[in-house]
Chains A and B, each alone.
Chain A
Amino acid sequence: MITFGNVSKFYNDWPALESINLQVQQGEFLVISGPSGAGKTTLFRHIWMGDLPSTGTVEVAGYRSDRIKKADLPFLRRKLGIVFQDFRLLPERTVFDNVALPLQVAGTSPKAIRRRVFSLLAEMELNHRRGSFPHELSGGEQQRVAIARAMVAHPVILLADEPTGNLDPEVSRIVIDLLIEINRSGTAVILATHDPRQVPAGTARFLYLDRGHLVNPGIWDGYKQL
């Protein structure tokens, strides 16, 4: 589903990623940990092709970085759901409108949007908040709305970039549980985090990224070593 083939990325000769070889299978849960500046976000940007590799190729859901056209990017991104540390909710829109956005930009009918958003908000226990604006929500609620927005269009891969970075431990656990549940329903989840211990052992594959390099991929188990 995702393949990184010897991918390197340089910003003004500074290597953000170097010789990355990585495969993610359908329905897999992958945790990528590492310190700040290790290249986790750059790796994510290459998955949704907000950045293209300097060398090597990335293939995501059938789209290859060396062949993709600008017009194909929206179609690739509709197969992905992305969650950010700072939520990135649109402040002037209600919870309903924030969650509905990916369906609106894909041309879904208003009736289908209403049906899907209501059902998802109910699933995530956010229905009572559908008319609220982001600033009226707690951090945990905002992140759940962000996850709902990422999941509303039935993505095949969910990218979560430090989704618990701004949350307290209790709310973080709720968010991680939600990601595990999403993964169990068949969506591949890639989680970038400083703290891989948030994810229970045995539920995910762990990788460690340091200064743009994957550290001993295949044998490193960050969970046990931390």
Chain B
Amino acid sequence: MIHLIKNAIHEGLLNIRRKLGSFLITLLMVSLSFMVFDIFLIISWNLGSALKDEQENVGIEVFLMESINEVEAVNLADIVSGMEGVRSVYYVSPQEAEAVFRADLPEQADLLTLLGPQFHLPPSIQISLHPDYRTSEKVGGLARTISGMDGVEDLVYGKEYLPGLTRAVDILEKLVILAGLVLAVSLSLVVANTVRLAVARRSLTVQIMSIVGAPGWFVKVPFLGEGVLTGVAGAAGSLIFTLAVSWMLSSSLPHAFLPGKWIILVLILGASSGAAGSWIGMKSGIPKPRS
């Protein structure tokens, strides 16, 4: 059995060596197709990271009534911190709010002096949320609950931009999956066509092998191996090309290259497209033995 497997692998390598030229052309075709996908993934990855960073900052700022004292404010903060989706709560006293205002907007600090010692900025509670709760729907629901509580004057949570941000992240994730599927199908067809041509070119070999008693898998393994190798090598080649392009553009257009997990995903996509292509090619290409 070991010799049989060795012979099948040897047979596959011989096939590739015998038609190295056409194998390299197919490899280049697959690499270029994958490169389009890799570039799309890099854009998606960088855009997605920016959107995710933005989502990280999503929280609720609750402005309390001026009449509320510090003990009541801290009690309110305690109640809010126990709510579902709330990760942490920070109470900002009027004095701290004023200090922050002076530090962040020093040119406007005179405004506070003009308004006199009777004026105080309102106390507030800053709420940060669990990642799952950073969607417009969930933040909106939480905000509605908090705004109905005693002592709450007003609150802000990025109502205007959050629905768009959530939708953008959602669409981007779906686009990546869709592009992956489209690419997998198109690459499978490219590999299928190559394998079908290879089978047609080797129809005599396939027939003779079958007639002299080769098991079905012995005939198929070399074609399957060729398909998987084309897919993986094509995907790896595309990553190398894309890395070179990415490196050349990095100074004029700062961006991050794909993370390790995505690189593995691209290689797996290459292998599965190659395997699927081989299977389709063999299904339609392998002839029945005749005499």
Contacts and interface: CB of A to CB of B under 8 A. Distances in A.
Nearest to B211: A82
Interface stretch (A98-106, A180-188, A202-210): A98-106
Highest count of chain B CB atoms <10 Å: which of A45, A48, A84: A48
Interface string A65-107: 0000011001111100010100010111000000001101111
Given A74-B214, A74-B215, A101-B208, A106 B4 contact: yes
B204 A88 contact: yes
Sorting the interface of chain A by its residue count into under 10, 10 to 19, 20 to 34 or 35 or more gives 20 to 34
B208 A88 contact: yes
Nearest to B19: A92
B291 A50 contact: yes
A32 to B, nearest CB: 14
A88 B211 CA distance: 11
Interface of B: 1-4, 7, 11, 18, 204-205, 207-216, 218, 288-291
A75 B288 CA distance: 17
Nearest to B288: A50
Contact of A50 (B2, B212, B289): B289
Contacts of B4: 105-107
Contacts, number: 67
Interface of A: 41, 44-45, 48, 50, 70-71, 74-78, 82, 84, 88, 90-92, 101-102, 104-110, 149, 153, 161
Contacts of A88: 204, 207-208
A102 B218 CA distance: 12
Given A104-B7, A107-B3, A48 B211 contact: yes
Contacts of A149: 212
Contacts of A82: 211-212, 291
B286 to A, nearest CB: 13
B212 A110 contact: no
B3 A45 contact: no
A60 B2 CA distance: 29
Contacts of A106: 4, 213
Contact of B212 (A44, A92, A102): A102
Given A77-B212, A105-B209, A84 B291 contact: yes
Given A50-B289, A161-B291, A107 B1 contact: yes
A84 B208 CA distance: 11
Nearest to B4: A107
Given A70-B216, A105-B213, 17 more contacts: A41-B291, A44-B291, A74-B213, A74-B216, A76-B213, A77-B210, A77-B211, A77-B212, A78-B212, A82-B211, A84-B291, A102-B212, A105-B7, A105-B214, A105-B215, A107-B2, A153-B213
